[in-house]
């Protein structure tokens, strides 16, 4: 390599670093060598290098979003047992996980059912699919987020903390009905729900049907207002089956050679405004 060529390569490496194009920086020596040998037009060389840069940038962005999403590991739609929850439409779940129009419109998802029925798994799997599409998701236990928001309120920065959460296309509040809350907890949770209403989407999992949400929000008026904001523009899934964890434990205790028990819907009374799997706006999402 001549002195002039060496200088050009050094300058190019510095410029690519300045422009934050690490993939092109690592690939261009091999690509330019091949282009010289095969007589590529300049446009073909530039297109090949920029295509690799764009693809690698998308990969790095997804890796960052996966790290910040804090999703439980190994929870995917592929390993979710849809046969155990026959009242849930697999096609509808995959449609929600594949499309982002409902997120752009600030619609919500609500998963209700007894403990151990797969609500958290399904929520995390949907979140993972959306992250892989390039969207930003945060999965958090409701109690953990409420505690963080209470600290922000004490520091007079609650509004800023809630605004910071707006960067997430979907906020997954796992186990929103984790138990009774005092007035301070109730207040910050309600403010979060209100702030995201029709602007950013929320996915909540809950063990209790809406009729028992007075345990979450002791104030009846606040209960009604919170449920109204969550349910408006939402899709509701009710997982009314036996606990997967309990069923698995019983099958293990039963031992090999015995028929495996399958989950069947419990004969429970659903909330009057809901069906087995529905959208409050007629399933238009």
pLDDT at 185: 78
**Does residue 212 form part of some domain?**
yes
pLDDT at position 154 is 93
pLDDT of residue 206: 92
Distance CA 285, CA 283 (A): 6
pLDDT for 271 equals: 42
Parent domain of 232: 72-279
Which residue in this structure is represented by tokens 């301070």? Answer: 184
The string of pLDDT tens digits covering residues 23-80 is 999 999 999 999 999 999 999 999 999 999 999 999 999 999 999 999 999 999 999 9
pLDDT at site 48: 95
Asked if the structure places residue 284 within a domain, the reply is no
How many CB atoms neighbour CB 127 within 10 A? Answer: 27
The reply to whether 233 and 167 lie within a common domain is yes
54 and 121 co-located in one domain: no
82 and 126 in a common domain: yes
Does 265 lie in the same domain as 158?
A: yes
Q: Do 167 and 226 fall into the same domain? A: yes
Q: Is residue 48 located within the same domain as residue 104?
A: no
Asked if residue 72 lies in contact with residue 120, where contact means CB atoms within 8 angstroms, the answer is yes
Record the pTM.
0.76
> pLDDT at position 149, please?
94
Are 262 and 83 contacting, i.e. CB atoms less than 8 angstroms apart? yes
Which domain CATH number covers 212? 3.40.50.300
CB-based burial, 82-112: b 16+ in 10 Å, e otherwise: eebbebbbeebbeebbeebebbeebbbbbbb
80 and 61: one domain? no
Neighbour-count burial for 141-153, b at 16+ CB within 10 Å, e otherwise = bbbebbeebbebb
| Residues of the chain where predicted confidence (pLDDT) is lower than 70 | 1-2, 177-181, 218, 242-285
Q: Which of 49, 67, 85 is the last residue of a domain?
A: 67
**Pair 254, 152 in one domain:** yes
């Amino acid at each position: 390599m001549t002195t002039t060529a060496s200088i050009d390569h050094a300058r190019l490496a510095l410029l690519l670093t300045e422009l934050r194009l690490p993939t092109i920086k690592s690939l261009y020596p091999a690509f330019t060598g091949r282009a010289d040998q095969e007589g590529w037009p300049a446009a073909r060389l530039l297109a090949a290098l920029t295509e690799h840069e764009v693809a690698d940038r998308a990969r790095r962005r997804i890796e960052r979003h996966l790290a910040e999403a804090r999703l439980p590991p190994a929870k995917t739609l592929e390993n979710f047992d849809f046969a155990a929850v026959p009242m849930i439409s697999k096609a509808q779940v995959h449609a929600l996980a594949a499309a982002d129009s409902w997120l752009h419109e600030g619609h919500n998802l609500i998963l209700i059912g007894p403990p151990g029925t797969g609500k958290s798994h399904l929520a995390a799997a949907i979140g993972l699919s959306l992250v892989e599409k390039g969207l930003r998701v945060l999965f958090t236990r409701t109690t953990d987020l409420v505690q963080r928001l209470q600290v922000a309120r004490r520091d007079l920065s609650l509004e800023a903390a809630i605004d910071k959460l707006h960067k997430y296309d979907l906020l997954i509040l796992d186990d929103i009905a984790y138990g009774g809350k005092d007035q301070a907890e109730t207040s910050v949770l309600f403010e979060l729900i209100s702030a995201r209403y029709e602007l950013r989407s929320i996915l909540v999992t809950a063990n209790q049907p809406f009729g028992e949400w007075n345990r979450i929000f002791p104030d009846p008026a606040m209960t009604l207002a919170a449920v109204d904001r969550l349910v408006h523009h939402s899709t509701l899934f009710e997982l009314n089956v036996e606990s997967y964890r309990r069923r698995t434990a019983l099958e293990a205790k039963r031992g090999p050679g015995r028929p495996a028990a399958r989950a069947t819907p419990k004969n429970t009374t659903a909330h009057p405004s809901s069906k087995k799997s529905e959208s409050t706006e007629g399933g238009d999402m």
